[in-house]
Amino acid sequence: MDFSSKYYACLALLEDETAKLYEKLIDRCEENLLKLFLLNILYETRKHKELLFQIANLKNKRLQLSDVEECGKEAGYLIKESLKNIQFLKMQIEQGGSIIDVMKKLIDFEESVSEEYLIMIHGKVLKRSESDPVVKEIVKYIADDERRHIHLLKLSCKLFKKV
């Protein structure tokens, strides 16, 4: 399995774990307008997972989603730490943690990860090893969506504070 297929599979795993976090947030949320923002992010996150996994499969037909440790070895520290952070936030929600506190941490996480997405994917994978212009374009769309997610999370926090 080449680096790029494993790397894309690890990004798909990150999106999958992030979607599970959004599902937990939505389940705990009682404000319908807030749920709309979170549902929008959830559906786009699921789409990202599927797109990234399909990109990985273009490169390796027998690929399966990785686990946290494997991603740490194959895709690097950032992916491993991001996965651990998402798992920690999911645990906080499961244990009855404050939705607003988790959302604020998620904003910080999304800001740092989306920035790293741009740096790592565009800098490392796309510019050096990704020759397919369609894949490049899809990854750029995902990065744009990530920036919009940050905006929606910030709006959600403001809305939640008013409720």
Domain boundaries, the chain: 3-162
If you count them, how many residues does the chain have? 163
Question: What is the spatial distance between Cα 83 and Cα 88, in angstroms, rounded to a whole number?
Answer: 9
Residues 60, 1 contacting (CB under 8 angstroms): yes
Tokens encoding 141: 């769309």
The distance from CA 34 to its chain's CA centroid, rounded to whole angstroms, is: 19
The larger pLDDT score, comparing residue 33 to residue 46, is at 46
Highest mean pLDDT among 1-10, 53-62, 89-98 belongs to 89-98
Q: Where are the alpha helices (DSSP H) in the chain?
A: 3-28, 32-59, 68-75, 77-94, 99-116, 133-162
Looking at domain 3-162, which of 2.60.120.380, 3.40.50.720, 1.20.1260.10, 1.10.10.10 is its CATH number? 1.20.1260.10
* Locus of tokens 């979607």: 19
Determine if the pTM surpasses 0.75: yes
Q: What is the pLDDT of residues 51-66, one digit of tens each?
A: 998 988 887 777 666 6
